[in-house]
Structure 1
């Protein structure tokens, strides 16, 4: 199974991924919260008949084995820590060969099309739109001339489109008042920004989600244009602060950069938090390292970051921080970095 997020991506020093989600509902069925089990099974069967099995793998989530759940969690189909696997008998997931395009049935709305790409790549919208148009040709979609596409979530009514950029912002995060100022800036675009994880072991990852908010009364073109202007601002701001930190604190930054690489390359045990903090320093100073001692690509930095962010859920926080888990994580990181040398 391919790992779409390991591809070369534009602006990947700041933007980890770009995602476009388009939701649709089918006439004749209640919205998901009001759909009983019999109706839900009918919905799943109806959609399954129209899915091109030559293009998409997958099916009813209840039929996924443990390895499939782990892979699809890491490849960002089933939500963080597989949270979309709640009530698996009421959901289905279909995905293409590289898992960059997927169709979820019963996950929030009747149909959720998702297209994902590494780095800054708004072409994911066109990919998602193509799949959505194909589904619209096969089903009688709930639509209002006044409100646009009808959804159970008010924030998605209208176009049914949501754009999300996952960004790593170590310089802004380490600057006093940096995130607060950024939140204000994002709000001016009528978008939102929130931490990748609000709490828990990776809450200090310096990784954030920048997402569109409402679609009612906003055209797709307006939403996309606003998002592209915003993400360009964020990239510019993060890079400017990296320049400032690397310039004003070169010796300290270079020292922490080397120590961070050493921790990742040679540690026998490492927590998710410690690994992400080290990767944040690699990201911040990577472009400024002129020693030639550390050979690591943006692709490797991004793969490690994504692997740890989307690490499948451990049975408990305690077990995710256990000696065995930390050893296994460190071993995986060492293997990747050894191959990158």
Structure 2
């Protein structure tokens, strides 16, 4: 199986954004919760029972064709910093990182598939794809789910569906989500209306690392909340419609900014570029905000093709665990701020300055771009 160091050398398929329209919708994710019949749930199991169930399930997962030459480790075999890196790459949850003996993570070579063993449930399986490709992620994970169901007897009830440790996951056991980059809606102060409308129709809005985390770099995670009484197809279709509408609102907000305040927009992007290129100290939150503006500028033509992928890479590499892995040592926050700034200055040296003069003279569409923020009829 793949070593941790090898996993770190290769960016995930979804991180490169290849062949994906990911200007606004960065990633799509499908997650399935499953438990093995007649085995105690991880939270109730004794240590020996957790180890036994982990070994049983891990062997079946590693044997999958798609996991050939993948990454597989028991959580107790990993250093705390390594576990945090996996969290930052969205390969395991924060809850999984807190687990020790009797829990494991198995990831395919392309980091498209990640299976957490003995997190809250026996299996938390997820698939991540770049852009708005929920169905592609669902198909990929569905094959894994079917293959494992042939090998493991999943706990299932005819009325309640798949049985899970938390009642909120009963039924399909599925969470469908998308990570959206919404800087224009934040800057034009429309984000509150959008998030309120999304919550009103029963969808959840979370930060970069899910429940209980804040939004960094104008990134928001939107997902279904209910899994019982609704089919997987219905959940995905509803989420697709809402995500597509939010994407339209964000695109229109960018066009409106370009039309109404081209100089102010250019100034924001230019200042972000200058600050990233010359600052010597950077906290995470500020760095994310500046990179976010560069990413928006790249999507709007201020920078050459490929700049968005550079921005996505920077957002990953400046996170605390990735920084410390890069430095080869645990660092105090102040030390991380210095190294974060050094990394960003280095990256900006190879990035062309924004083409501000071209875009300040560019005319945007005259149509009304505000739109209706009511998703109830979607």
Q: What is the aligned partner in structure 1 of residue 297 from structure 2?
A: 285
Does residue 34 (structure 1) correspond to residue 47 (structure 2)? The answer is no
Unpaired runs of 5+ in structure 2?
A: 1-6, 325-330, 353-378
Q: Secondary structure at the match of 2:55?
A: helix
1:105 to 117, 123, 148: 117
Change (3 A) 1:160 1:225: same
Name the residue aligned to 1:8. Answer: 18
1:195 positional shift: 3.0
4+ residue runs over 6 A deviation: 197-202
- Counting only pairs closer than 5 Å after superposition, residues 219-238 of structure 1 correspond to structure 2 as 219-238=231-250
* SS of corresponding position for 2:297: helix
Task: Specify the alignment match of 2:355 in structure 1.
Answer: none
Q: 1:198: Cα distance to partner?
A: 9.3
Structure 2 SS opposite 1:51 = helix
How many residue pairs are counted as aligned between the two chains? 331
Contact (CA 8 Å) 2:198, 2:204: kept in 1 or not?
yes
SS of the counterpart of 1:276? Answer: helix
Matched residue, 1:86: 98
TM-score, normalising length from structure 2? 0.79
CA contact (8 A) 1:22 1:162 kept: yes
TM-score (norm 1): 0.87
Q: In terms of mean alpha carbon deviation, does 218-227 or 259-268 score higher?
A: 259-268
Q: Matches of 1:262 and 1:286 in 2, distance apart?
A: 15
- 1: CA distance, partners of 2:159 / 2:300: 53
- Taking the aligned partners of 1:286 and 1:58, their CA distance within structure 2 comes to 36
Taking the aligned partners of 1:160 and 1:199, their CA distance within structure 2 comes to 17
Secondary structure in 2 aligned to 1:89?
Answer: coil
The residue number in structure 2 matching 1:45 is: 55
User: Which residue matches 1:325?
Assistant: 336
Q: Say if 2:183 and 2:293, in contact at 8 Å, map to a contact too.
A: yes
Deviation larger for 70-79 or 254-263? 70-79
Alpha-carbon spacing, 1:15–1:311, altered in 2? closer, same or farther (3 Å): farther
Structure 2 match to 1:147 = 160
Partners of 1:73 and 1:310 within 8 A in 2: no
- The 1:108/1:285 distance shift into structure 2, 3 A limit, reads same
Report the CA distance between 1:269 and its aligned residue.
2.4
